[in-house]
Amino acid sequence: MSQNYYITTPIYYVNDKPHIGHAYTTLACDVMARFKRLDGYDVTFLTGTDEHGQKVEKAAEAVSLTPQHFTDQVSQNFRDLTKAMNFSNDDFIRTTENRHKAACQRIWSILQDNGNIMLGKYEGWYSVRDETFFAETELVGGMAPTGAPVEWVEEPSYFFNLSAWQDKLLAFYDENPRFVGPESRFNEVKSFVKSGLRDLSVSRASFKWGVPVPGDDNHVMYVWLDALTNYLTATGWPENGPAGDKEKYARVWPADLHMVGKDILRFHAVYWPAFLMAADLPLPKRVYAHGWWTNDGQKISKSLGNAIDPNHLAATYGLDQTRYFLMREVPFGNDGDFSVQAMTQRINGDLANDLGNLSQRVLSMVFKNCNGIMPAIPEPLKSEDQELLKSVDSLIINVRRHIDNQAFHEALRIIWQVISQANRYVDSIAPWALKKTDPERMAEVLAVLSETIRKIAILVQPVMPDSAGKILDQLGVDPTQRNFNFLVGKARLASGQGIAKPEPVFPRFLDEG
Ligand code: ME8
């Protein structure tokens, strides 16, 4: 039986249309999910929408729709995005679904029954935009630290005894040094917990758009307790719920990776493990917090109207080009700035010139100079052939290491190093010049190059599934032979099969704007 791998995106608030930031997180998960599937794992990849809370209630009010009607519409935009971006999620969860309400009420009851939730009164500041409570001391110039406005809230509220979990959380962090990535963010989490935790208000009584608190209709659950529970719901938990699936839960939970933006790390690395510990449920293995995209140096926000629509990017630059750019341009974990210039450079440099040109010129030579028949890899190999094949053969080990650390940019960088090496090999041997003088050597060199391209195309499938697929089609690689088993051992590109006239896979981008 293959090993399971469960990966999740945050569930997105439906107060707004999806933008580049949302697409980015889900893309990173899609790349992880595709990579793990090719590497032999049984993957469960979850995304969805976060539909309760005051923020969504207000957004619905603003367009004169009922919250349910409104969330139906906006959630669909996120679902459409998964198709448009070629995301391979296995499930799409909405927090307004019955399966989810049942899971929320179940976790609440467990926490209440074992004495971790108690009724009290909340008095303090609340930011609707962040759906977060703030202490007086946390405010900056009368605003939330994020710059969002805050309002004074005074209402009866249930509290989760977060303060009781401080030492257990710190011990857990010590025992699980990979729990949060990147490391600098893990340090921030630890200092936050060390500085002391206050009990957390986990219900609201001043509006209705939420999951009712079991046994107390005056309260709805705090949207973050509701939202975080989605990761459990989708595993078939609880087993007696409307979508209960004991076997799936046992197989899939705990999650291997919760991918989040840095804005919501605290919820995932502090509150969520505390809720789970208190409910006596296993904790996720890792939370990774990536950075923030800006647009030409400015924070992307609704009020600035500078959100970048991922559909527009895909239509303008090509879907795989967009996927590649987002994963390659910015070191994953850091903040990044979107610019047309950077996008154009990646498309024309890395894709059209480096990978596209390599594959196009090699396959064209096989087509023209070898009668369209794939030549055989020489036996024994010449030292320059050996050098190139050694580099491409050893890629998987290092690429896997980088992907397991969510260093997508590094994984791509080392693949592109080998692409450059292959281009230097072609330029120095100049196989086109061998056609008349040494056709046998020409065929050997083209075979070594085709094998190099095969491995590179297999490795870039998670980032650029369609384009890599086209290259593998052109090489005549059987669709059942494109997983990572075919990167190791004796697996080599078959010779003797005919290839069709190659078509360029990566056109140049001409900025006509
Ligand atoms: O926080 N750059 O939902 P949300 C990079 N519902 N990533 C960005 C981004 C940007 N400019 N803007 C948004 C919520 N993101 C909660 C989550 S999970 C149980 C509940 C991404 O719609 C990033 O992943 O505000 C961020 O964490 C997420 O969108 C926030 O989405």
- Domain extent listing, the chain: 313-487
Q: Is the CB of 263 under 6 A from ligand 1?
A: yes
d(CA 234, CA 100) in angstroms, rounded, equals 8
Separation of 62 CA from ligand 1 center, angstroms?
Answer: 21
* Closest ligand 1 atom number to CA of residue 261: 27
Cα 77 to ligand 1 centroid, rounded to whole Å: 15
* Cα-to-centroid distance, 263 and ligand 1 (Å): 7
The tokens for 355 are 């990978």
Ligand 1 binding pocket includes 271 (Cβ within 6 Å): no
Q: Report the C-alpha dihedral over residues 167, 185, 274, 90, rounded to 10 degrees.
A: -150
Give the number of the atom of ligand 1 that is nearest the alpha carbon of residue 291. Answer: 5
What is each CA distance from 288 to 203, 256, 323, 368, 407, in whole angstroms? 27, 11, 19, 48, 11
Q: Is 268 in the pocket of ligand 1 (CB under 6 A)?
A: no
Half-sphere exposure of 25 toward its Cβ, with a 13 Å CA cutoff?
A: 28
- Please answer whether residues 205 and 218 qualify as being in contact, where contact means their C-beta atoms are separated by less than 8 angstroms: yes
- What pLDDT is attached to residue 422? 98
pLDDT at 512: 63
Q: What is the pLDDT of residue 303?
A: 66
Give the global pTM.
Answer: 0.97
21 Cβ closer than 6 Å to some ligand 1 atom: yes
**Ligand 1 centroid vs 404 CA: distance in angstroms?**
22
* Range 313-487 classified under CATH 1.20.120.1200: no
How many A from CA of 455 to the centre of ligand 1?
35
Rounded to 5 degrees, what are φ and ψ at 300?
-80, 125
- With the most atoms of ligand 1 within 8 angstroms of its CB, the residue from 87, 96, 263 to mutate is 263
Distance 24 CA to ligand 1 centre (A): 10
Regarding the beta carbon of 293 and ligand 1, being less than 6 Å apart is answered: yes
> Alpha carbon 394 to chain centroid distance?
25
Cβ of residue 300 lying under 6 Å from some atom of ligand 1: yes
Query: Which of 56, 74, 260 has most ligand 1 atoms within 8 Å of CB, for mutation?
Result: 260
CA distance 39 to 7: 15
Predicted local confidence at residue 463, as pLDDT: 99
Q: Name the residue at shortest CA distance from atom 18 of ligand 1.
A: 10
- Residue 16 has a pLDDT of 79
Q: What pLDDT sits at residue 69? A: 96
Span from the CA of 160 to the centroid of ligand 1 (angstroms): 24
Do 316 and 467 contact (CB within 8 A), yes or no? no
| Residue (of 5, 217, 258, 211) closest to 107 by Cα position | 211
365: its two tokens = 């030579």
Intervals of the chain under pLDDT 70 = 302-303, 512-513
Q: Whose alpha carbon is nearest atom 28 of ligand 1?
A: 261
Determine the distance separating the centroid of ligand 1 and the alpha carbon of 104, expressed in angstroms.
21
